[in-house]
Amino acid sequence: MSYYYAKKVDYTFDESVQKITNELKEVGFGILTEIDVKETLKKKIDVDFRKYKILGACNPNFAHKALLAEDKIGVLLPCSVIVQELEDGKCEIAVMNPMEAMSVVTNDKLAPIAGEVNSLLESALQKV
C-alpha cells in the first residue's frame, strides 16, 4: 500500500491548486495551511525549485473524531496534499493515504475514521 495517491493533470499549476481545493471543499475539507515550497527554498537557501505547494487539508468532523480517539493524533494532521509542476509542463496532484499514515498508531478506533477520510480524499483527487 502506498503512502499517497497521485494524478497527472493537464491544468496549469494555479488551475491545479484551485481544482483540488474546490474538490476537497465539495467533500468537506478546507485548506488550513499552504506552503509554497518554491518560494520558501528561494528565500531561505537561495535554491531554485519547480512550482510545488503543500496544502494542509482538514475536515473538522473527522479531525474531531480522530482527536477524541487518540489525543496525540494531531501530529499527523492535517492531511497533506501536494501540487507540483512536472518537467513536461504538466502538473501532478498527490494526496496522502490516511490509512497508511494511521497504521503507525496502534489504536483500533482510528481505522474506520481513516478509511472514511481515505475515501473522501481519493474521491476529490479523481474528480480533478
Domain ranges of the chain: 4-127
> What CATH class has 4-127?
alpha beta
* pLDDT of res. 102: 87
Q: What is the pTM of this model?
A: 0.94
Rg (CA), the chain: 15
Q: What is the mean pLDDT of each run of 10 residues along the chain (128 residues)?
A: 93 97 98 98 98 98 96 95 95 96 90 95 97
Characterise 46 by phi-psi region: left (phi > 0), alpha (psi -120 to 50), beta (else): left
